[in-house]
Amino acid sequence: MKTAVDIFIAYAHNDLHFKDELKKFLRPLLNTGRAQVWDDYDIEAGHDWKLKSKNGYMEPILSCSS
């Protein structure tokens, strides 16, 4: 089995609805283990969010903006 693709969603908090809609469309990839999706809500309090988000950008496969 191939390694899951990590997808980091960066968005403006005003666009929270669009992020949630995107995650719905990605659900089949999540359910089959082909992708892992995360965003700033997945970074636990006290963790180095700058490092975590920077690492999420290291190998982008898809970038979307509004």
Q: 24-45 pLDDT, tens per residue? A: 999 999 999 998 888 877 777 7
Tokens read off for 16: 């929270």
Give the chain's domain count: 1
Residue bearing the bigger pLDDT, 51 or 15: 15
- Answer whether 11's CB lies under 8 Å from 42's CB: no
Q: What global pTM score does this model have? A: 0.63
Residues comprising the chain, all counted: 66
Question: Is 10 within a domain?
Answer: yes
Question: Is 41 within a domain?
Answer: yes
Rg of the chain in Å (alpha carbons): 12
Domain of residue 19, residue span: 5-56
What is the distance of C-alpha 39 from the center of its chain? 4
Find the angle CA(36)-CA(13)-CA(5) to the nearest 5 degrees. 15
Question: Is 65 within a domain?
Answer: no
- Helix and strand numbers, DSSP H then E, in the chain: 2, 2
Question: Is 64 within a domain?
Answer: no
